[in-house]
Amino acid sequence: MVLEDVSTFLQFSHCYGAWSGVRDNVIHTSDNSIAYPAGRHLCVYNSETKEMSFLLQPENVEVMTAISASPNTRKYLAVAEQLVDGNAQVSVFNTASEKRVKTLAHADCKTFVALCFSNDSKFLVTVGGGPEFTMIYWNWFHAKVVASCRINSDVRRVSFSPLDNVQIASSGPGLLKLWRLQESTLKGFNMVSGKIASSNFTDHAWAPGDRLLASTDNGDVLVVEQGELRCIVKTRLSGSPINTLSVYSSGFIIGGTEGRMSVYEKNDAREKGEDKDPYHHFKTFRSNDNVDILSVSISPQEETLAAFFSNNQVATFPIVNIDILKEGDNHFQYVGSGFHSQQVSGLDVCVRRPLVATCGGDRSVRIWNYMDKTCEVSKSFTEDLSAIAIHPSGFHVLIGFTDKLRFFNVLMDDLRQFQEFPIKGCKEVRFSHGGHKFAAVNISNIVIFSTYTFEKLGVLISHTAMVKSISFSPDDLRLVSAGVDGAVYEWSLQGYTRVEENVTRNVHYSCVVYNQSANAVIACGDDRKISEFVKSATAREVGTPGMRVQQLLLSNNDKILFAGTAEGLILSYIWGVEGLITEGPHYVVARGNVTRMATTPDDCILFVTSEDGTVFQFDIHLMEEGEVVPKKPLDPSSFLDVVLVTRGDMEEKNTTMTDLENKIGEIQVQSEYKLHLQEQDWNDKTKKMKEEMEAARGAAEARFEALRRRKEQQELEAVEAIQNMERAHMKAAEELESLYEKKLAMEGQRYRTLLHEKEDMECSYEEQLEITKSKYNSVIMKLKAEYESKTKEQQDAYNRLKEELANTKASYEEFVRQQDEDHEDEMLKVQQSHKKALEEEQDAVLNLKSQSAIMRRKFDTHKSEMETLKSHLKHKEDELKLANDKGEEQERQIQMLKNDIRDREQTIDNKEKRISELRMKAKELEKIKFVLDYKYKELKKEIEPKETQIIHMKEQIKEMDEELQRDVRTNHALGQALNDKAHKIDNLNVEIKRQRALVQEKERVISLFLSDLEKLVTEIDPSYWRDAIRQLYRSYVKKGAKEQGARDVPDSMDEFARQREHMERSLETLKRRAAKNEEAVKINNQKKATENAVLIDELNALRREKRLLEVKVQELTSELQVGTRKKRREEETSATPADLSSSKEPAVSSRPTSTRKISSGGAGAGAG
């Protein structure tokens, strides 16, 4: 039958597994969706629906190296990809549509190690691989490079500041830098210094505000604010590395070794300056597996946390309930109940239940429910597992261990061993389609057992090497096997005899399958072919150039053949029973070998396992005449809904249920009794509370009535007091108004006097300012002239160094060009000669192998014939003489074959001797290393003048530093003098305050005298005037005379005024002098700082140039060594032993040429 207009395609449905080789390998794309790498693709798992979608990678992508999501919206996902051709790119996906929206690539980056989106998702920063570690600032939507720079240090993480898109942080071993984008240039600043700067920074994250948290490999977290180290938090992981750090609204979370995760919360008191540390430890959690936590991700609403472990497990953690979680319990819940952490070596699908059984290199067996996408049974062992098979009913599994083959019953949540068989290292085991038999491979033999009696039914013996694959026919009457000996045998399971065979030497078969009619078998091996055999003859073949097929799977309707390759691809073919084979699409799946493949009985789902520990589930779609053939959806009712439970477990559960029922009855009785007691207690309390409330209500009413009467009385008293206060205030206001009018007149006269004094002082200060400006203009002009002359000298020196560097570079490039031309000619000659010799040797080896195989086959054939003749010897006594003659003839032929084989082995020994001679000649080529070392020393001498210039510039910098220190000391002395003057000014200010206090006291006495005098004038009674005047005399005249006599000194106020004016003039002079000195020192410091910066930049540029030159010298030296060795090997291979000595002379004579070129290059460099 020829299948026309039939095609097929696979749709990724689910994946049981993950890969830990990516930076930030778990990321929340929404509150319920987690993205993590699996195989060669990116999975997006929904924790609510348990469904999975995929961000598929094309075939040219070899591996993913880093992942990052846009911070706020999680709308975009950036993936750094390493391509097969050695280049790298960054793909940006839209998480909603799961489509690639932009691809970024840069010529300077052959790989990307870190990347991050800006807070508004408009920009993207990436870091390339070593040794340059180029940081690139992208406007990713337009694929435009905004800025780039080389970090030249290992970078583990890079991130944008949440407050500023032009501020970037980077961390790594010995690196914690803050970068700022200024005028399309990235400028870096170290955030820490000293011993801390040399720490290995494993991760960092931005906290709210301008705070950066950085973790180290010794368990510390550094808190950096505004670019400066604020404090160091000693975490509970001290002494062990912190692998990941993540920030959330209440603090931060760190993950480290042995499955430990610590939560730290902010100290509110610290924000007020009352605490030492800004964070405090809250809780520490730990997983049961005690494996390292590599990365964590917090959902946007901070409800769940996703963690990725070093054993390729992805787990979720309920961070929203962190306040009520206990530290001692395991709160991590694995996605899909856990994955395999190493290679999956066995796979089988159940018929009557929706189960898939797998075993792996992690010594665990897992049975998956492919409808619920969960792991129903998981069991770990202490021995290595090599193969697994599940019974069609789903109640039994066979597992191959290193020492035995064991039969297990599949219980509801466990595997219980029932029988074991003495088969060591069983690599392949299969149940028959009916489940009544199973076959197990014992190295080169196949043993058939009965499933129900465990009786050995037969042993199939014919393979001479390990059997790699077996398969039952659909009717279970035949079995086909294939092994590394190149044999494909068909066996009859009725007489356990071989019925068909096909032997292809030099081919190692890895898989073989039957078709549904059992009239043909399909096998694959390392010959890069898929072959179909019908009755021991090859019927059809299809080549797979460039790919080595490891596994085959033929659908139950014989229409589709799937092939898994060692490159991690799935190939599909429209196969059919006969006719032309049509190749279908192929799919990129895993990073390593495809180890197993299986399909469900209805051909709707394909399962693929790989070397990287992942199990992929595909939906198979068949298309006929361009339309998709509809398939029946999976119906849970079509599968068995039965599980196995042992009698002991049932009895234990029944006993437990009986005990629980009794306990429930007792608890009910106790609870009813307690409820009755509580009701009585509540009734008593209610009655007592009512009585207390009635008494309290009566007392409250009486107290309210008393308070009401008291309030009315207080209101009357308040009204009367307010009226009295209003009358007193009106009288006082009239008196104050008249007094303030008099004071305003006095203050107005005083203000006018002070205004005239202020105008006079302004005129004098302006005259002094003009004098000062004219005095210092000449000094400023002189300093400017000196600065311009020094700047010109530095520019001339810089131009001179730049010209010397250009000359050196030109001479070095000329030397490199000459060396490249010589090496290219030598390499072409060496390649041609070696290629020809290699082809001849390969042809000879192939001929010898084929002849040896033919001889061995003939030997085996003759040996079997001799045994046949011996067996018929008793039945043919009349032909005894003829049989003896034939036996002798066969023995002579065998002897001739043995002689021929011996000759062949002697030829091989001669070839090995020839190879050993060539190795001895290769050792002689090591002598050329001396010449290359001499060339390297000459190149090193050319670089030494640059080092001398660097040392001279360092001395200049040291002299300038000393001059700067002298200026600082001068400024310090001036500052001390200024402090002395300030102290004198303070003393004068104290004296002024004392005098002002005396003046205020006089004014107070005068005001009192005026008020008393005003009262006297306003008094009408003349008799009162006499007593009042006497009182005024006693209060003011006598008292004032005494005080004046005690304190008054002639002309003391005039002397004080003169001293004050003198001190004010001296103070102004000192201020002007200090300001002038300060300005001069400031200008000088700025000039020297600028000169130092220019010199440091020049020194750094020279150091980088020196480093590049040394690297180029090393590369040229290594290339020269390789070329010389290849040339010598070519000459020695093509030469005969007689002229070996003559072949050495050209190599020796070629040394002066190379030496001459190097010396000419050195002379050019010296001249430059």
- 741-765 pLDDT tens trace: 777 778 778 888 888 887 878 787 7
- Cα separation values, 172 from 23, 111, 261, 700, Å: 13, 17, 21, 74
With 0-12 / 13-18 / 19 or more C-beta atoms within 10 angstroms meaning exposed / middle / buried, residue 750 is exposed
| Contact of 241 with 219, CB cutoff 8 Å | yes
Measured in degrees and rounded to the nearest 5, phi and psi for residue 293 equal -90, 120
- pLDDT computed for residue 392 by the predictor: 94
| CA distance linking residue 599 with residue 619, whole number of Å | 10
Question: Whole-angstrom Cα distance, residue 1143 to residue 752?
Answer: 117
Q: For residues 245 and 256, what is the distance between their CA atoms, to the nearest angstrom?
A: 9
In angstroms, the Cα distances linking 109 to 87, 88, 122, 148, 632 are 8, 7, 21, 11, 50
Torsion of CA 417, 420, 424, 427, to 10 degrees: -60
Instruction: Report the largest interatomic distance among the alpha carbons of the chain, rounded to a whole angstrom.
Output: 191
78-82, 372-376, 410-414, 554-558: which has the highest mean pLDDT? 78-82
- In terms of DSSP bridges, do strands 405-410 and 396-401 run parallel, antiparallel, or are they unpaired? antiparallel
pLDDT at 117: 94
The pLDDT value recorded for residue 874 is: 67
The predicted-structure confidence for 980-1001, as pLDDT tens digits, reads as follows: 788 878 888 888 888 888 888 8
Instruction: Identify which has the larger pLDDT, 872 or 428.
Output: 428
Give the tokens for residue 1050: 């002639």
Q: Is the pLDDT of residue 231 over 70?
A: yes
Please state at what angle helix 1052-1134 crosses helix 1140-1149, rounded to 10 degrees.
150
Report DSSP letters for 828-877, one per residue: HHHHHHHHHHHHHHHHHHHHHHHHHHHHHHHHHHHHHHHHHHHHTTTT-G
- What's the whole-number average pLDDT of the chain? 83
| Residue 538 identity | T
Mean pLDDT, residues 540-548 = 89
Identify each DSSP E strand in 17-131 by its residue range. 27-28, 33-38, 41-46, 52-55, 61-69, 76-83, 88-94, 99-104, 112-117, 124-128
Torsion of CA 692, 697, 703, 706, to 10 degrees: -150
Q: CA dihedral in degrees (1058, 1060, 1061, 1067; nearest 10)?
A: 150
| Torsion, CA 810, CA 815, CA 821, CA 823, rounded to 10 | -140
How far apart CA 401 and CA 273 sit, in angstroms, is: 64
* Chain segment 999-1029, per-residue pLDDT in tens: 888 888 888 888 877 777 777 766 777 777 7
Can the peptide bond before residue 131 be classed as cis, meaning omega within 30 degrees of 0? yes
Measured distance CA(128)–CA(123) in Å, rounded:
17
At residue 447 the predicted structure's pLDDT band, cuts being 50, 70 and 90, is: very high
Question: What φ, ψ does residue 371 adopt, rounded to 5°?
Answer: -90, -45
How much of the chain, in percent, has pLDDT values that exceed 70? 91
Q: What is the pLDDT of residue 1137?
A: 45
957 band by pLDDT with thresholds 50, 70 and 90: confident
At 1135, the pLDDT band (50, 70, 90 cuts) reads: low
| 671-680, 776-785, 873-882, 951-960 — most confident range | 671-680
Is the dihedral angle over the CA atoms 874, 880, 886, 892 positive or is it negative?
positive
- The pair of structure tokens assigned to 477 is 């009457």
529 and 542 Cβ atoms separated by less than 8 Å: yes
Torsion of CA 867, 870, 872, 873, to 10 degrees: 170
Cβ atoms within 10 Å of 35's Cβ, excluding its own: 27
List phi, psi (to 5°) of 180: -135, 135
User: Over 60: is that where the pLDDT of 521 sits?
Assistant: yes
> What's the CA angle centered on 155, arms 152 and 157, to 5 degrees?
150
> Could you say which DSSP state residue 97 is in?
T
Query: 624 forms bridges with which residues in the sheet?
Result: 6, 627
For residue 478, how far is the Cα from the chain centroid? Answer: 53
- Average pLDDT rounded to a whole number, residues 918-943: 72
CA separation for the pair 117, 139 (Å, rounded): 10
Beta-carbon contacts of residue 1096 (< 8 Å; ≥ 6 apart): 957
**pLDDT tens digits for range 1136-1165:** 444 434 444 333 333 333 333 333 333 333
Q: List, in order, residues 6 or more apart from 110 with CB less than 8 Å away.
A: 86, 87, 88, 128, 129
pTM of the predicted model over 0.95: no
- φ and ψ at 1019, to 5 degrees? -80, 140
Q: In angstroms, rounded to a whole number, what is the distance separating the alpha carbons of residues 358 and 366? A: 5
Are the beta carbons of 73 and 82 closer than 8 angstroms? no
d(CA 197, CA 303): 36
Structure-token pair, residue 495: 């007489």
CA-based R_g, the chain, Å? 49
Nearest to 547 by CA among 525, 522, 532: 525
Please state, in angstroms and rounded to a whole number, the distance separating the CA atoms of residues 398 and 416: 11
Lookup result for tokens 């690139």: 136
Asked if 492 and 474 touch (Cβ cutoff 8 Å), the reply is no
Tokens of 895: 């002897």
User: φ and ψ at 1162, to 5 degrees?
Assistant: -65, -40
The two three-digit tokens of residue 830, written as one number: 């060496």
pLDDT-wise least confident of 368-377, 526-535, 929-938, 1137-1146: 1137-1146
Contact 587, 597 (CB under 8 A): no
pLDDT, mean of residues 293-309: 93
For residue 1150, the one-letter residue type is S
CA–CA distance, 340 with 320 (Å, rounded to integer): 29
Per-residue pLDDT tens over the stretch 263-295: 999 887 444 444 467 899 999 999 888 899 999
First to last CA, the chain: 82
pLDDT of amino acid 740: 75
How far is 562 from 351, CA to CA, in rounded Å? 20
